[in-house]
Chain A
Amino acid sequence: MALAFDEFGRPFIIIREQEQKSRLRGLDAQKTNISAGKAVARILRTSLGPKGMDKILQSPDGDVTITNDGATILEQMDVDNQIAKLMVELSRSQDYEIGDGTTGVVVMAGALLEQAEKLLERGIHPIRIAEGYELASRIAFEHLERISHKFEFDGTNIEDLIQTCMTTLSSKIVNRCKRSMAEIAVKAVLAVADLERKDVNLDLIKVEGKVGGKLEDTELIYGILVDKDMSHPQMPKQIEDAKIAILTCPFEPPKPKTKHKVDIDSVEKFQTLREQEQKYFDDMVKKCKDVGATLVICQWGFDDEANHLLMHRNLPAVRWVGGVELELIAIATGGRIVPRFQELTPEKLGKAGLVREKAFGTTKDRMIYIEHCANSRAVTIFIRGGNKMMIEETKRSLHDALCVARNLIRNNSIVYGGGSAEISCSLAVEAAADKYPGVEQYAIRAFADALDAIPMALAENSGLQPIETLSAVKSQQIKENNPCCGIDCNDVGTNDMREQNVFETLIGKQQQILLSTQVVKMILKIDDVISPSEY
């Protein structure tokens, strides 16, 4: 009611300018919200699983992205609906937290909304549905814990890690060489992982792409790759046992922050100033040389004269290196970032076994490899591929794989993939539902049905009969009491995901269920949507 009357009977406006706002209330509002959420889920549904399809997204500027990654699709979609934006947020938070399963979480939320709609039609109060979902999600969460497996790995035995990463990659376009990609991802993560603290800082892994070559040429470099070339074309292209001075001050005359003016009013001043200036450059280069540096990496530009002096003193240099890269170089080479020339000391130099410049293709593309570093804690994954979109998609896929590997190092529990975990949870939730008296029972059953949506979508995308396949697998799970039965997407001939080596991380799955339940609860509680109409 936007209009009320005060005690004298005069109209009293609560919401201004009624005709300019559109407003939805009650069941209508819920249904509208649900249908918007479902629409988003429907878009992502076909991307699920190893046979999932990609989407082309064209940005406002006409750039094309081709991807299979749920988070990326939603992020680049021009979504206007508030509920749809919630779904986008959902997928993003899964991406930040886990990195993988961004599609699954949205599909799951969509399925929960669909079930909720049916219950609403039967007249069940949305809050009761939300509570039922909450109970059910807890059951599923605990059930996942029970059916999960732990596997052991160490620096040498990484097979299981690779298998899990392969499961993630198999739904992406890179699945042609998923084995090598998974190996790269696992090795990269292990290289930077702190196994004792069970922590992985993914910032230490730099992913660099360059068009050209083929996907198989993608490599892991134990060192840093910088997309720059030497500042002077005639500097040496290869330096062995390099001592690197990492500078964040330019080879230019100093620019004090305070405003000042140097007035020249006589010939003497003019000449001293000139000498001063030349001394600056000479000093700078000399300081670098004196501490024994054989390579200078600088965040800023060089003056022509300084550049030549560097060249002259046989001190190769790289200029305009980005801040992030500079940090990585410092970590990898064990050097310190030096903000002033005065503070250069031999201890602050980084060390690298080999620094080389490499040219690509027919154009003037060069990159600098810094390898055999003192501390190989920073690594680079260098992606090659046929075109720009391919490289971008490979970057996203590798990011997912890296996240999965990191999650496994944090928590080495896995569940089996191919929808088997969802089916098993669905069975467990279904069985538990009967124990709850009250209306929640219906909501819990609905939750179990919603869990079936993921294996169903998997089967559908793989060209199988969804209902038939799902019921067959379900009965098989009960009959054999084996929670590893899933959908055989690749036509391998067995339903047992243990044999197919399809793993997913436990925390990823748990997070999916928790996050999607939360969002659905939030959407269900909305009963009034007020939006300004078009102006």
Chain B
Amino acid sequence: MATGSLFKDEATEEKGERARMASFIGAMAIADLVKTTLGPKGMDKILQSTGRGHSVTVTNDGATILKSLHIDNPAAKVLVDISKVQDDEVGDGTTSVVVLAGELLREAEKLVNVKIHPMTIISGYRMAAECARNALLEKVVDNKLDAEKFKDDLMKIAMTTLSSKILSQDKEHFAKLAVDAVMRLKGSTNLESIQIIKKPGGSLTDSFLDEGFILDKKIGVGQPKRIENAKILVANTAMDTDKVKIYGARVRVDSMAKVAEIEVAEKEKMREKVQKIINHGINCFVNRQLIYNFPEELFADAGVLAIEHADFDGIERLGLVTGGEIASTFDNPESVKLGHCKLIEEIMIGEDKLIHFSGVAMGQACTIVLRGASPHMLDEAERSLHDALCVLSQTVNDSRVLFGGGWPEMVMAKAVDELARKTPGKRSHAIEAFSRALIAIPTTIADNAGLDSAELIAQLRAEHHKEGSTAGIDVISGSVGDMSELGISEAFKVKQAVLLSATEAAEMILRVDEIITCAPRRREDRM
């Protein structure tokens, strides 16, 4: 009897133990890959792209590493996905979430090997995650009402986040930059209004926060280089030959003379448009699109500073900063809101000329100028700073703060352990396993720092047996230290997101007992 195959060619099916093994191994491999980047003494990775030029990225950021990997294992894809979401949602903790999920699966594998049903493990994990979250909620500190202390908290959080990145040498400097930038946002999480400009050259400590706005553009030739009390019109309009937008319109002439006439008319039209713009009573005009030579000349004649081709974000930010509206029609000069600033001037950073707007009407936006030895360094610095900014802006909204350095994990592990002792049935094994997985994070931090993790964790555990302990791992001195004295803090929101997403992902992978892979779509061979 011939049993035809059920699936198409090349489609594969893995069942039961094998499927579970495949997903566990895949997930753990990913976790192990990023594990070494965890903590202040974590190492960086070099990523080389397969594209043209083989561009190189050096990074310590979990999300960036995982994003660039080509992965075939479906379970590993789940982990990559949670790391990406963590990046979008809170910005930091992208490595921790993957490591925790990996550890949860590692523990789960042991339990599955002693024949505990995955569903039992899942229900144990769920109870444990809930309990851990409550334990954290009990211990949070909220300093929202005390502005001074709150700022202090932010500073600590920024320093903690940055300490695992390339900026750790100058973390104080950058933490201050980040906190200042975020405080200017006044509670909004829109990081768009913080502009980061990277300029190679100088050293990292030369980076600075500018209260005004810096546009990476040049001022047109022959136009004033410095304007005081500037009135700015921010526009998005075509300043090349103004196209006729009516469909099907085309120019058809029968003689050279007519061409010349139309050319004149066109020029006239442009001149009119420029005149209309100038009639707004401005002395600075910023356009998103190109400004051709002819209008530029007209602007120069009128003594108006014209800046062309500021990209879309730049325009939006400029509109936000100067308080002007982005205009596309110029017929009603009286009702268009113009932007204002005290001074526009050309400044030099390194060898590049930039346009600097200072004394702007709205203080929300600001610019951070990063300086550094190489483009790679700057890229990494930008990512690190972005992480810090994300965390800070989230913390401004949800001001609950925890200590760092493995402290939250120990608190959670303790609570979860207690729960395990109280729970009857097989689930208690799973709950215990959850607590072991939590402890794996401080263990990894210690390992990465080259410390004796077994010894340190045991000490830490004993320390945490006392009520209200604030002990954590002090990586710098290599011992157990008081986190409140050392000023190491983390945002509650980040920790919570790590805990919940990691559990969710582990649960998802645990539930799987079969993997069906379709035949990969054939690429047409290049002729």
Please report the C-alpha to C-alpha distance between residue A31 and residue B4 in the assembled complex, in whole angstroms: 11
B254 pairs with A265, CB closer than 8 A: yes
Smallest CB gap from B522: residue in A? A60
Pick the interface stretch among B74-82, B103-111, B369-377: B74-82
Cβ of B454 under 8 Å from chain A: no
Smallest CB gap from A365: residue in B? B88
Please indicate the chain B residues that have their CB under 8 angstroms from the CB of A105 in the complex.
Answer: none
For B, the interface residue count at a CB cutoff of 8 angstroms equals 88
Q: Which of B4, B6, B78 contacts A387 (CB 8 A)?
A: B78
Q: Which of A22, A233, A389, A463 contacts B81 (CB 8 A)?
A: A389
Min CB distance B274 to A, Å, is: 15
Min CB distance B64 to A, Å, is: 14
Min CB distance B164 to A, Å, is: 18
Please indicate the chain B residues that have their CB under 8 angstroms from the CB of A360 in the complex.
Answer: 89
Smallest CB gap from B10: residue in A? A78
A53 pairs with B78, CB closer than 8 A: no
Cβ of B253 under 8 Å from chain A: yes
B5 pairs with A56, CB closer than 8 A: no
Cβ of B262 under 8 Å from chain A: yes
Please indicate the chain B residues that have their CB under 8 angstroms from the CB of A80 in the complex.
Answer: 4-9, 11
Asked whether A390 and B504 contact (CB < 8 A) given A255-B247, A262-B248, A273-B244, the answer is yes
Smallest CB gap from A77: residue in B? B516
Cβ of B519 under 8 Å from chain A: yes
Min CB distance B62 to A, Å, is: 15
Min CB distance A483 to B, Å, is: 27
Please indicate the chain B residues that have their CB under 8 angstroms from the CB of A278 in the complex.
Answer: 329, 331
Please indicate the chain A residues that have their CB under 8 angstroms from the CB of B515 in the complex.
Answer: 55-58
Counting chain B CB atoms within 10 Å of each CB, which of A24, A211, A233, A260 scores highest? A233
Asked whether A312 and B336 contact (CB < 8 A) given A264-B252, A389-B508, the answer is yes
Please report the C-alpha to C-alpha distance between residue A80 and residue B335 in the assembled complex, in whole angstroms: 67
Cβ of B246 under 8 Å from chain A: yes
Which residues of A (92-136) have their CB < 8 Å from a CB of B?
Answer: none
Cβ of A62 under 8 Å from chain B: yes
Smallest CB gap from B234: residue in A? A234
Please report the C-alpha to C-alpha distance between residue A255 and residue B247 in the assembled complex, in whole angstroms: 6
For A, the interface residue count at a CB cutoff of 8 angstroms equals 88
Q: Which of A31, A66, A273 contacts B508 (CB 8 A)?
A: A66
Cβ of A266 under 8 Å from chain B: yes
Asked whether A262 and B250 contact (CB < 8 A) given A54-B512, A76-B518, the answer is yes
Pick the interface stretch among A32-40, A290-298, A326-334: A32-40
Cβ of B351 under 8 Å from chain A: no
Which residues of B (1-54) have their CB < 8 Å from a CB of A?
Answer: 1-9, 11, 13, 19, 23
Smallest CB gap from B501: residue in A? A386
Please indicate the chain B residues that have their CB under 8 angstroms from the CB of A271 in the complex.
Answer: 265, 269
Asked whether A56 and B512 contact (CB < 8 A) given A51-B117, A252-B245, the answer is yes
Pick the interface stretch among B135-143, B320-328, B472-480: B320-328
Asked whether A267 and B261 contact (CB < 8 A) given A362-B89, A387-B82, the answer is yes
Asked whether A78 and B519 contact (CB < 8 A) given A40-B6, A388-B81, the answer is yes
Please indicate the chain B residues that have their CB under 8 angstroms from the CB of A252 in the complex.
Answer: 245
Pick the interface stretch among B155-163, B185-193, B207-215, B443-451: B185-193
Min CB distance A56 to B, Å, is: 4
Q: 1/0 per position for B228-263, CB-CB distance to A under 8 A?
A: 000000001110001011111111111000100110
A389 pairs with B78, CB closer than 8 A: yes
A39 pairs with B6, CB closer than 8 A: yes
Asked whether A32 and B1 contact (CB < 8 A) given A62-B72, A78-B8, A252-B245, the answer is yes
Please report the C-alpha to C-alpha distance between residue A81 and residue B331 in the assembled complex, in whole angstroms: 69
Please report the C-alpha to C-alpha distance between residue A320 and residue B13 in the assembled complex, in whole angstroms: 42
Min CB distance B250 to A, Å, is: 6
Please indicate the chain A residues that have their CB under 8 angstroms from the CB of B327 in the complex.
Answer: 308, 312
Asked whether A78 and B4 contact (CB < 8 A) given A59-B518, A64-B78, A312-B336, the answer is no
Q: 1/0 per position for A56-82, CB-CB distance to B under 8 A?
A: 111111101010100001001111110
Cβ of A516 under 8 Å from chain B: no
Q: Which of A53, A234, A388 contacts B513 (CB 8 A)?
A: A53
Smallest CB gap from B115: residue in A? A463
Asked whether A53 and B118 contact (CB < 8 A) given A212-B88, A386-B501, the answer is yes
Q: Which of A55, A273, A386 contacts B82 (CB 8 A)?
A: A386
A253 pairs with B518, CB closer than 8 A: no
Supply 25 A–B pairs (Cβ within 8 Å), ascending by A.
A28-B2, A31-B1, A32-B4, A36-B6, A43-B514, A46-B513, A54-B508, A57-B515, A58-B517, A76-B516, A78-B519, A80-B4, A80-B8, A173-B508, A211-B88, A215-B504, A259-B248, A262-B250, A263-B250, A264-B250, A265-B253, A274-B242, A305-B328, A362-B393, A364-B190
